[in-house]
Amino acid sequence: MKSIYFDNAATTKVDSRVLEAMLPYLNDEFGNAGSIHSFGQNAQSAVDEARNKIAEFFGARKQEIIFTSGATESNNLAIQGVVNYFVSQKQKIHIITSKIEHPAVLETFAEMKKRGIEVDYVGVDENGVLKIAELKKKIKDNTVLISVMYANNEVGSIQPVKEISELVKEERSKRTKDNLPIYLHTDAVQAVNYLPMNVEYLGVDLMTISGHKIYAPKGIGALYIRGGVKIKPITFGGHQEYGLRAGTNNVPGIVALAKALEIISIEQKKEIQKLKSIKDKLIKELENFENYKFNGIPEKQLPNILNISFLNAEGESILMLLDMDGIAISTGSACSSGSLEPSHVLTAMGRPAEWAHGSVRVSLGRFNNENEVLPFIKSLKIIIDKLRKMAP
Ligand code: PLP
């Protein structure tokens, strides 16, 4: 059987058009963008051109785009960079995030807490959407940063980033010049392919993206930083990226990122339609199953993610058996030291452990098609029946 890749939220295949755009910069045009000679200048021109295009995609200015190695680094730079600035000013600050963030945000917040920063977490409703009233109550006079993802990677729930930015504006209007500023950061990794990304429309001050979720390679990402945001670098040893991110530029990666965004801007509408129809078909076919629940609802979800819990069937076992049939999906559970921890996202959504343990994530992408639905459903049905028969 032909293999089926339904794990596009984990990573995507590099689009051949992206590969074609970046290849010259791995080979003939291999210069270091920091070198003065022509090899370097050619590389620098490619970086400049890519930065301009990316800035345009986000409705930003070119000096507001900082290239990084990916979303983990962008999130770290956004959070640690802002915190470090205020700590260097001897300010006592407070920062807020949601309970359903990617570990790249959650663990950075945990680290900030260890360093003595006051940290708060906001919950989500049963569909995995942030409780905005709870967030409003948690904002204090010394809150300098709110970090809420644009769309969740496990259940695909879309977060009310624009509404949060309205709250931030309201809070800002109450503060004077002598008060601390307040910034909104969003980890937009999973949203870039499908949702509006204009930073003025969204009202965000910092925004994270990653190449390998949008058909560019692994190892490239970016952080949008609105001009004037108080932030310190977290890496040292070079003057690249306006002094905010030391290290030789990943020129092929940067070129690839710009090309990937260009393709999104042209093909997004068509792609969303296609993915919605594959997802609808999956949902319809799943009606023939018993004892299952969707985690999240399509109206508040990305078009490419479907998260399903099966009672009395472990997510990890489903994943492994599907893999034997050549089908790749993922699960929210993390198998650590022999014990299965239920996903922090499903737990925050109020899913009991017996449902959370049987959860799997199907994440579609550009290279999937409707013909993959039935073979997947057929394998899944056999696997679920088998696991349930074996279940104690
Ligand atoms: N944030 C979210 C929402 C993600 O889904 C991921 C990847 O799984 C990351 C951050 C980390 O991205 P990267 O692999 O680019 O560091």
Domain of 386: which CATH number? 3.90.1150.10
Active-site residue, from 283, 335, 353, 382: 335
Note the pLDDT of residue 339.
Answer: 54
Is residue 337 scored above 90 in pLDDT? no
Note the pLDDT of residue 336.
Answer: 44
Note the pLDDT of residue 334.
Answer: 52
Q: Across residues 358-376, what is the average pLDDT?
A: 97
CA–CA separation, 230 and 240 (whole Å): 18
Out of 153, 157, 210, give the residue to mutate to test ligand 1, the one with the largest number of ligand atoms within 8 Å of its CB.
210
> Are residues 234 and 334 located together in one domain of the fold?
no
| % of the chain surpassing 90 pLDDT | 95
- Token look-up 């959370």 returns 356
> Are residues 107 and 188 located together in one domain of the fold?
yes
Name the domain count of the chain: 2
> Are residues 71 and 165 located together in one domain of the fold?
yes
Is residue 20 scored above 70 in pLDDT? yes
Name the 3-class secondary structure at 33. Answer: coil
Ligand 1 centre to CA of 269 (Å) is 24
Q: Could you identify the atom of ligand 1 that is nearest to the CA of residue 73?
A: 16
Note the pLDDT of residue 2.
Answer: 86
- Single residue among 240, 262, 284 that ends a domain in this structure: 262
Q: Across residues 88-104, what is the average pLDDT?
A: 97
> Are residues 194 and 305 located together in one domain of the fold?
no
> Are residues 327 and 351 located together in one domain of the fold?
yes
What are the pocket residues of ligand 1 if the criterion is a CB atom closer than 6 Å to any ligand atom? 70-72, 102, 104, 149, 153, 187, 189-190, 210, 221
Out of 98, 153, 195, 361, give the residue to mutate to test ligand 1, the one with the largest number of ligand atoms within 8 Å of its CB.
153
- Single residue among 246, 262, 278 that ends a domain in this structure: 262
State the pTM of this model: 0.97
**Model pLDDT for residues 182-228, shown as the tens digit of each residue:** 999 999 999 999 999 999 999 999 999 999 999 999 999 999 999 99
Q: Across residues 94-104, what is the average pLDDT?
A: 98
> Are residues 310 and 176 located together in one domain of the fold?
no
CA–CA separation, 68 and 60 (whole Å): 17
- Cβ neighbours of residue 80 closer than 8 Å, sequence gap 6 or more: 108, 111, 112, 234
Lowest mean per-residue pLDDT among 12-21, 224-233, 278-287, 338-347? 338-347
Is residue 338 scored above 80 in pLDDT? no
CB of 96 closer than 8 Å to CB of 106: no
Domain span holding position 372: 4-12+268-390
CB of 212 closer than 8 Å to CB of 253: no
Ligand 1 centre to CA of 340 (Å) is 22
Burial (CB count within 10 angstroms: exposed 0-12, middle 13-18, buried 19+), residue 290: exposed
Out of 189, 220, 331, 361, give the residue to mutate to test ligand 1, the one with the largest number of ligand atoms within 8 Å of its CB.
189
- Nearest protein Cα to ligand 1, atom 13: 71
Q: Across residues 18-32, what is the average pLDDT?
A: 97
CB of 77 closer than 8 Å to CB of 234: yes
> Are residues 147 and 246 located together in one domain of the fold?
yes
Across all residues in the chain, what is the average pLDDT? 96
Residue 218 belongs to a domain with what CATH number?
3.40.640.10
Note the pLDDT of residue 150.
Answer: 98
> Are residues 220 and 295 located together in one domain of the fold?
no
> Are residues 73 and 199 located together in one domain of the fold?
yes
- Nearest protein Cα to ligand 1, atom 5: 153
Ligand 1 centre to CA of 210 (Å) is 7
Ligand 1 centre to CA of 70 (Å) is 8
> Are residues 243 and 276 located together in one domain of the fold?
no
Q: Across residues 332-343, what is the average pLDDT?
A: 62
Ligand 1 centre to CA of 243 (Å) is 24
- Nearest protein Cα to ligand 1, atom 8: 10
> Are residues 332 and 352 located together in one domain of the fold?
yes
> Are residues 256 and 283 located together in one domain of the fold?
no
- Single residue among 262, 280, 297 that ends a domain in this structure: 262
Note the pLDDT of residue 340.
Answer: 65
123 carries an active-site annotation: no
